[in-house]
Amino acid sequence: MKRTTLDLPRFGAGTGLTRTARLAGRLGLDLPALGRRSVVITGSNGKGSTASLLTALLCEAGESVGTFTSPHLFAFNERFCLNGVPVEDAPLVAAEARVAAAIEADRADHPEEQFGEFEAWFVTALCLFDGAGCTRLVIEAGIGGRYDPCRLLQAPVTAIVSLDLEHTALLGETRAAIALDKLDAAPPGAQVFLGQGFGDVRAELEGACASDGRTLVEALADYAPMRRDDSLSGHRISTHHARLGALDLSLTLHGPRQADNALLALELARAVRPDIADEAWPGLATFALARARCAGRLEVLPGEPPILIDVGHTPAAVEAAIAAAGEMLDLHKALLLLGMSASKDVDGMLSRILPLFARVIVGAGHNGVAPHALAERVSVLRPEIEILAVCEDAGATLNAARRLCRADDVLVGLGGLFWAGALRAQALGRAGDGPDFR
């Protein structure tokens, strides 16, 4: 289904943990029981990829896994997966109907409260996963951790995948403040697995954990530096665990960050199911991780010419995507397909993207910068770049690219989530299922 059936604002009134817990109670959800079998994933970037990788590992180990992530690219159902597959429309509609009825009942007792849609979706996910008898839950936080609904689960295993200056008005103006907010998704006594890049805030995190028994775990500490071969045909990784031995992986997810995310997911899986890898290292890890998919994250779409897309929508995320793509192909010889959301840091992203490309086709996605205005900005920032066409939407952009590209071109779609989703929908012949966000 394209959209939620719930009629709620994006955000509720104030912090919503108390009302969300109350809503879960009205629906008969046992939050402590659900939390004990949950892994909560927070971070600035890479949460969805890590959730997908962890889900693949747990499913291969025989667990029944419910995975809650955001946002979606094609259909609203993508946020709610059972064993890696989006739930069907009927059970999702039924779960949302249960949640809507419980919200109405709550309003009768608490008329001053206003639920937000993410709070309701979190509870919808728990209803679906509880009803399906899931033995493991993989829950991606929305924003931060301190006031995110995922904190209600009090999950004994959590992760902070990465750290960037984002949502500063809500989370804080410094990396340390943002890190501490995300840390608060973890309850006293929890294990908190850290991805790469936390050296500058490690002291603050250790100080916060010291008083309540939370344990910080450097997820990649026991792995030797990786050797990687990344191309459009696949991503091969070789490393060595200090105690367990050699590890060779082949991923469909590209870039150094995805290599890090794969090892983080493996350590999270070992934390809840040591037998997944320890009994016959690397056990099922190699097969499971090779099957993991994460739409829109440096994804290579089939067809001729090949299309590489990424959903990165901050300057840091775009910079990381470009660095990874640069390992896979010569970007100066690639054809850039550019579209950007009007609400994002357009110049900040363009300053990272444009220097590496010689040719571009400009288009527009949902809530995007008008294509002719974006083309003008491109010309100002990099006058020497060749603008082959300016198109009104993703479909016209792909048609122009196929008409104007060279025989050996690779198309690279960059600029944001909505743009990547629209290109993906067109490339896979699912134009009618493209992004439709309220």
pLDDT one-digit tens code per residue, 103-119: 999 999 999 999 999 99
How far apart, in whole angstroms, are the C-alpha atoms of residue 41 and residue 48? 8
Residue 437: what pLDDT?
A: 43
Longest dimension (CA), the chain: 66
Residue 62: what pLDDT?
A: 95
Torsion-angle region of residue 82: left (phi > 0), alpha (psi -120 to 50) or beta? Answer: beta
How far apart, in whole angstroms, are the C-alpha atoms of residue 140 and residue 118? 12
Residue 432 has pLDDT above 60, yes or no: no
Q: Which residue has the higher pLDDT, 203 or 275?
A: 203
Please give the model's pTM, rounded to 2 decimal places: 0.91
How far apart, in whole angstroms, are the C-alpha atoms of residue 326 and residue 68? 31
pLDDT one-digit tens code per residue, 171-213: 999 999 999 999 999 999 999 999 999 999 999 999 999 989 9
Q: Which residue has the higher pLDDT, 178 or 317?
A: 178
Residue 433 has pLDDT above 80, yes or no: no
Confidence of residue 312 (pLDDT cuts 50, 70, 90): confident
Residue 169: what pLDDT?
A: 87
SS3 content of the chain, % helix, strand, coil (to 5): 45, 20, 40
DSSP state letters, 221-290: TTBPPPEEEEETTEEEEEEEETTTEEEEEEESS-SHHHHHHHHHHHHHHHHH-GGGTGGGTTTTHHHHHH
pLDDT one-digit tens code per residue, 143-169: 999 999 999 999 999 999 999 888 888
Domains (range + CATH), the chain:
17-291 (3.40.1190.10), 299-433 (3.90.190.20)
State what percent of residues in the chain have pLDDT above 70.
98
Residue 238: what pLDDT?
A: 97
Confidence of residue 35 (pLDDT cuts 50, 70, 90): very high
Residue 438: what pLDDT?
A: 39
Residue 187: what pLDDT?
A: 98
Residue 73: what pLDDT?
A: 82
Residue 299: what pLDDT?
A: 94
Residue 24 has pLDDT above 50, yes or no: yes
Give the chain's end-to-end CA distance (angstroms, integer): 14
- Please answer whether residues 247 and 267 qualify as being in contact, where contact means their C-beta atoms are separated by less than 8 angstroms: no
Amino acid identity, position 353: I
